[in-house]
Chain A
Amino acid sequence: MSLALDGLLAISLVVLALQVVTGASLFRSIVMFVVFGLVMALVWARLRAPNLALAEAAIGAGVSGALLMLGYRRLRAAGPEATRPGPRSSRLAAPLSLLVAGLVASLGWTALGLPEALGAAGAAVVAAMPSQAVANPVTAVLLVFRGYDTLLELAVLLVALAGARAVEGPAGPADLAIPTMTGLPIVGALLAALVPLSVLVAGYLLHAGGNAPGGAFQGGAVLAAAGVLLVLTGRLVPHPVPGPVERWGAVLGLLVFSALGLVMLARGQGMLSMPGAWSIYLVESAMLVSIATTLVLLLGAAPGLRRGPLP
């Protein structure tokens, strides 16, 4: 039974990917991509990786779907020609893809046959876990064992935001017209229920990340989704000048993590060492704020956001 389930999941992944890439209608490809993200989250769940399933659900199925939909709307505003898919694939496509598939299959077959590496990092992490302040090995790897990587990832997020700003120019892209139907009372009810709940769920995922799957990234993605909802329904409108919330929010994670690291260095305990669970939660909270702010600003394509007029 498990084999049938897993086999069907694998087959649907391949079929969905084919549909996304070779579809004749751009909108259909977008919907197929969202479904691909959903099935991918299921696959992670089957592979006993709930952290990855959480991340895939939040980013791949939710936020990416909204991003693609918004991009499609902007393309449509440019004219009906813009959303016509490009020329059909060349005659080399089929033999080339078969060749690549064969290469990947043979590589995978060889990799499956290799013996277990001695002294693999995973075994060392699991052995070192009982002495850590948190019980979730993924959080421990992110913040304790590979803290440098996470710090630099925060820097990359900031650079991405700056890069998007540089590409768009000082005014940002033309504003998307907010559809009138988002003024309906039902949308107001949705926001009234969902936005405060998102804050709660984000905090829950952050706190759960210590001992169970969760963490700053997943919580930040939920908060970002709430922010994107507010932007999509016109409750938050783009503004050419970022306010203090946006500025501080974007750099908070990097600031707090670096400050803690430097303080630890000054106290002689080694750069980026985490003296206890409180430091891990502190850094993760700052990361959550940064991730959420960056994602909302990127998706809203806005240098800053202001509260919009009530519909």
Chain B
Amino acid sequence: MNFIQVAATILLVLGGFFYFAGTVGLLRFPDVHSRLHALTKADNLGLGLVCLAMALLGGSWRGAAMLLVIWLLGLLAASVSCHLVAQAALEPAAEPPTPRGDP
């Protein structure tokens, strides 16, 4: 494997680690806000690393520019979504929380 492939592999592994961390945060943290926080931050960093790896592998400037746009839009969408969902979670719930594992 040449240098680019090695670099892309390292970036992919790092990105995968961040995605894994985000999922673990979603599953294990105690509260909806801490879950949102872990998820948004880790997932978007993972996405950035994956975009960088794909830009390296793709080899064209146009492709790299498209990947940059995708990442920036992903950041924008995730920030706004996280903010809105967190605000919505602050309001009193209209329906009682469903019990875990209900059929």
Task: Verify A186–B79 contact, CB threshold 8 A.
Answer: yes
Bound complex: CA A1 to CA B44 (Å): 26
Interface residues of B in 48-99 (CB under 8 A from A): 73, 76-77, 79-80, 83-84, 87-88, 94-95, 98
User: Which residues does chain B contribute within 8 Å of A187, judged by CB atoms?
Assistant: 80, 84
The reply to whether B76 and A193 form a contact with Cβ atoms under 8 Å apart is: yes
The answer to whether A181 and B98 touch across the interface, beta carbons within 8 angstroms, is: no
CB-nearest residue of chain B to A193: B76
B103 CB-CB contact with A under 8 Å? yes
Cβ–Cβ < 8 Å partners of B77 in chain A: 190
Question: Is A80 a contact of B83 with CB atoms below 8 Å?
Answer: no
- Which chain A positions have C-beta within 8 A of B94? 76, 80
* Prevailing SS type, chain A contact patch: helix
> What is the interface residue range for chain A against chain B?
10 to 19
Q: Does A159 contact B (CB under 8 A)?
A: no
| Residue contact B79 to A24, C-beta cutoff 8 Å | no
Chain B interface residue count: which class? Answer: 10 to 19
CB <8 Å contact, A25 and B73: no
Q: How far is the CB of B62 from chain A (nearest CB, A)?
A: 12
Considering the chains assembled together, what is the distance between the CA atoms of A187 and B73 in angstroms? 14
The reply to whether the CB of A197 lies closer than 8 angstroms to some CB of chain B is: yes
B102 in complex: contacting residue of A25, A83, A193, CB < 8 Å: A25
Contact A28 B87 (CB under 8 A): no
Q: How far is the CB of A72 from chain B (nearest CB, A)?
A: 11
B96 (CB) vs chain A CBs: closest residue: A80
Q: In the complex, are the beta carbons of A83 and B80 less than 8 A apart? A: no
Contact present for A181 and B84 (CB under 8 Å) = yes
Q: Give bound CA distance, A187 to B102, whole Å.
A: 35
Chain B positions within 8 Å of A186 at CB level: 79-80, 83-84
- Decide: B98 and A190 in contact? CB cutoff 8 A: no
Q: Please indicate the chain A residues that have their CB under 8 angstroms from the CB of B88 in the complex.
A: 181
- State which of B73, B95, B102 has its C-beta within 8 Å of the C-beta of A197: B73
Binding site for B on A (CB under 8 A): 22, 24-25, 28, 76, 80, 83, 181, 184, 186-187, 189-190, 193-194, 197
What residues make up the interface of B, taking CB atoms closer than 8 Å to A?
A: 73, 76-77, 79-80, 83-84, 87-88, 94-95, 98, 102-103
